């Protein structure tokens, strides 16, 4: 049976179609989910895609966190449903307290769009198992509010528990503490990151590499082998 991965569209989402395509390229079935519907249509995993949900008013992701679909996503994520938050999706996950910390405006106060080098720090989550720890990859990055922040105790816990999933290399593009580009929850089923792996699944687009594809093959293998 083909794994079914839901992609939530909020008002202002930009990368829902790209994410659906990435899921299809990996060999799974993408399922479109609308922010006003609580029904997740019995999907096996969920992706909160990039964009500017609700125009990023108040704070990035702050309004989307209260969309009806998030009630179900939060409950099921706590029960073990794999959830990936990309860029705005990462912001929504922090606002929903499925991941710790928060996102602030880039320290240079400008929108950034570039190919970004990352190091994979945790290759044991539901979304990263097709990588190896220490692997260096290139993933497109585009954000205005990408600066990851957390209090000292949270940062120490993330580092001690191996919950930093990705770290920026060569340069810190937005002032994120500890060069953090992505994190995971303790169970490893919820992952959030600022760069956009869905833009790096085919050699003709994005970076010209396929470094983002393992996100989607990782979850597919986990679901098939579950």
Catalytic residues: 87, 196, 198
> What backbone torsions phi and psi does residue 57 show, to the nearest 5 degrees?
-65, 155
Q: With contact defined as beta carbons under 8 Å apart, do 83 and 189 qualify?
A: yes
Residue 167, token pair as written in the block = 């770290």
- Which CA distances in Å does 207 have to 18, 44, 196, 204? 14, 29, 11, 8
Residue 12, token pair as written in the block = 């202002």
Residue 20, token pair as written in the block = 């659906």
Q: In degrees to the nearest 10, what's the CA dihedral of 151, 171, 104, 152?
A: 0
Could you tell me the strand order of the sheet in which 112-120 lies?
29-34, 4-9, 45-48, 83-86, 190-193, 180-184, 164-168, 112-120, 136-143
Pairwise CA distance, residues 171 & 128, whole Å: 22
Pairwise CA distance, residues 201 & 18, whole Å: 10
Pairwise CA distance, residues 195 & 224, whole Å: 26
Pairwise CA distance, residues 85 & 196, whole Å: 10
């Amino acid at each position: 049976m083909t794994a079914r991965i839901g992609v939530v569209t909020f008002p202002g989402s930009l990368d829902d179609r790209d994410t659906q395509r990435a899921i299809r390229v990996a060999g799974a079935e993408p399922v479109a989910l609308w922010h006003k519907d609580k029904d997740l249509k019995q999907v096996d995993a969920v992706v909160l895609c990039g964009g500017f949900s609700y125009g990023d008013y108040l704070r990035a992701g702050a309004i989307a966190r209260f969309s009806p679909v998030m009630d179900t996503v939060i409950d099921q994520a706590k029960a073990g449903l794999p959830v990936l938050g990309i860029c705005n999706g990462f912001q929504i996950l922090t606002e929903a307290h499925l991941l710790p910390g928060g996102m602030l405006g880039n320290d240079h106060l400008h929108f950034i769009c570039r190919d970004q080098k990352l190091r994979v720090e945790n290759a044991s989550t539901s979304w990263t198992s097709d990588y190896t720890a220490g692997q260096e990859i290139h993933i497109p990055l585009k954000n205005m509010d990408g600066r990851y922040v957390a209090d000292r105790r949270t940062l120490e816990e993330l580092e001690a528990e191996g919950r930093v999933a990705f770290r920026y290399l060569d340069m810190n593009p937005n002032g994120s503490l500890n060069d953090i580009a992505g994190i995971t929850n303790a169970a490893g089923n919820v992952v959030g990151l600022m760069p956009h792996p869905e833009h790096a699944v085919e050699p003709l687009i994005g970076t010209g590499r396929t470094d983002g594809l393992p996100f989607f093959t990782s979850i597919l293998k986990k679901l098939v082998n579950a």
